[in-house]
C-alpha cells in the first residue's frame, strides 16, 4: 500500500537535492563515456546539477537565515516580555509594600487617636470628678458659713483672705465685725461682715465705701452670710467694694483665688 507523504518545504528541498545529485552523477558517467558529444552532454548535466544544487543551497541558506532572524526576534521579544513581567512584578511588590506601610501608618494613627481620645476622656472625667468634688465641698462650706457664728465667720474670712495673699493687721476697730488686712505691696484692704441673717443693703455698701475712703484703703470687702438685696448689688457700680456671699467665700476657702490688686 502506497503511503502519501505530505508536501512540505523540507520534502521539496530533499527532492531537489536528490535531483541535483542525480544530474551530477549522470554527468560524471557521461563524461567518462569516451564519446565527445556524450561527454559534452555530461559536462552540461554536471553544470546544470551544480547550478541546481547551488540554487538549492542558496535558497536553503536564505531560508535558514530568515528563520534565524525570526527565531532571534522571537527570543528578543520573549526576553523583553520577561523583563516587563519582572518589572511589573517588582512594581506590584513595591505597591503592595507601600500599601502595607500606609496601612501600618494608618493603624498607628488610629491607635494614637484612640489613645489620645482615651486620655482626653480620662482627663475630662477626672476634671468632672474634681469639679464635682469641689462643688460639693463649696456647697458644704457655704451651708456652714450661712449658719456660722460671728467668730466662725470672721475666722473663715481671715482664712480665705490669707490664702489670697493678705495678712491681718493688729489695729483695733471700733466695730467687732470690721477687720483690716495688708497686702504684700503695703496696700490696706478692709473687711466688714453683716450678721444676724440680715441681707446687706445699699446703705451697707455706701458705709463700707465711706469707711474705705476714710481709712485710705485700696479695697473693701462686704461679707453677708445671708446674701445681698438687689439695691446692694446695684450700689457697687463705681466703688471699690466687693460683695462676698457665702458661696464666694466658700469658693475662696476651698479653691482659692488670685491675689487681689491694690
What is the 3 state secondary structure string of 220-258? Answer: EEEEECCCECHHHHHHCCCCCEEEECHHHHHHHHHCCCC
pLDDT in tens, the chain (262 residues): 555 556 676 666 666 666 666 666 666 776 666 666 767 666 776 676 666 666 766 777 777 777 888 888 899 999 999 999 999 999 999 999 999 999 999 999 999 999 999 999 999 999 999 889 889 998 998 898 888 888 888 888 888 888 888 888 876 656 668 889 999 888 999 999 887 778 999 999 999 999 999 999 999 999 998 889 999 999 998 899 999 999 998 988 888 755 555 4
Residues 241 and 151 in one domain: yes
Could you tell me if residue 26 is inside a domain?
Answer: yes
Domain boundary among 51, 81, 111: 81
CATH code for position 247: 3.40.1350.10
Domain boundary among 81, 98, 121: 81
Residue 164 contacts by C-beta under 8 Å, 6 or more apart in sequence? 252, 256, 257, 258, 259, 260
Which strand ranges, in their side-by-side order, compose the sheet holding 178-182?
Answer: 167-168, 178-182, 188-194, 219-224, 241-244
> What's the longest Cα–Cα distance across the chain?
176
**Domain that includes residue 28, residue range:** 9-81
What was the pLDDT predicted at 52?
65
Domain count, the chain: 2
Could you tell me if residue 261 is inside a domain?
Answer: no
What was the pLDDT predicted at 165?
85
Domain boundary among 24, 53, 81: 81
What was the pLDDT predicted at 240?
93
What was the pLDDT predicted at 54?
67
Residues 63 and 160 in one domain: no
Residues 161 and 72 in one domain: no
What was the pLDDT predicted at 67?
81
Could you tell me if residue 59 is inside a domain?
Answer: yes
What was the pLDDT predicted at 146?
86
What was the pLDDT predicted at 15?
66
Are 248 and 224 in contact by the 8 Å Cβ rule? The answer is no
What was the pLDDT predicted at 5?
57
Amino acid at each position: 500500500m502506497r503511503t502519501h507523504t505530505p508536501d512540505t518545504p523540507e520534502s521539496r528541498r530533499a527532492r531537489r537535492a536528490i535531483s541535483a545529485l542525480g544530474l551530477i552523477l549522470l554527468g560524471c558517467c557521461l563524461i567518462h563515456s569516451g564519446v565527445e558529444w556524450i561527454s559534452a552532454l555530461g559536462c552540461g548535466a554536471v553544470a546544470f546539477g551544480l547550478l541546481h544544487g547551488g540554487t538549492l543551497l542558496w535558497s536553503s541558506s536564505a531560508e535558514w537565515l530568515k528563520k534565524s532572524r525570526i527565531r532571534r526576534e522571537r527570543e528578543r521579544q520573549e526576553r523583553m516580555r520577561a523583563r516587563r513581567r519582572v518589572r511589573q512584578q517588582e512594581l506590584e511588590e513595591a505597591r503592595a509594600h507601600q500599601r502595607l506601610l500606609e496601612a501600618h501608618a494608618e493603624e498607628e494613627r488610629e491607635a494614637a487617636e484612640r489613645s489620645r481620645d482615651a486620655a482626653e476622656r480620662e482627663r475630662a472625667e477626672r476634671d468632672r470628678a474634681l469639679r464635682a468634688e469641689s462643688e460639693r465641698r463649696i456647697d458644704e462650706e457655704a451651708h456652714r458659713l450661712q449658719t456660722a457664728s460671728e467668730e466662725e465667720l470672721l475666722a473663715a474670712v481671715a482664712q480665705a483672705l490669707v490664702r489670697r495673699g493678705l495678712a491681718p493687721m493688729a489695729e483695733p476697730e471700733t466695730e467687732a465685725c470690721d477687720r483690716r488686712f495688708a497686702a504684700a505691696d503695703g496696700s490696706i484692704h478692709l473687711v466688714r461682715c453683716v450678721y444676724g441673717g440680715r441681707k446687706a443693703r445699699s446703705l451697707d455698701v455706701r458705709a463700707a465705701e465711706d469707711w474705705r475712703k476714710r481709712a485710705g484703703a485700696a479695697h473693701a470687702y462686704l461679707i453677708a452670710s445671708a446674701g445681698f438685696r438687689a439695691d446692694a448689688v446695684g450700689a457697687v457700680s463705681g466703688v471699690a467694694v466687693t460683695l462676698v456671699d457665702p458661696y464666694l467665700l466658700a469658693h475662696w476657702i476651698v479653691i482659692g483665688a488670685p491675689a487681689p490688686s491694690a
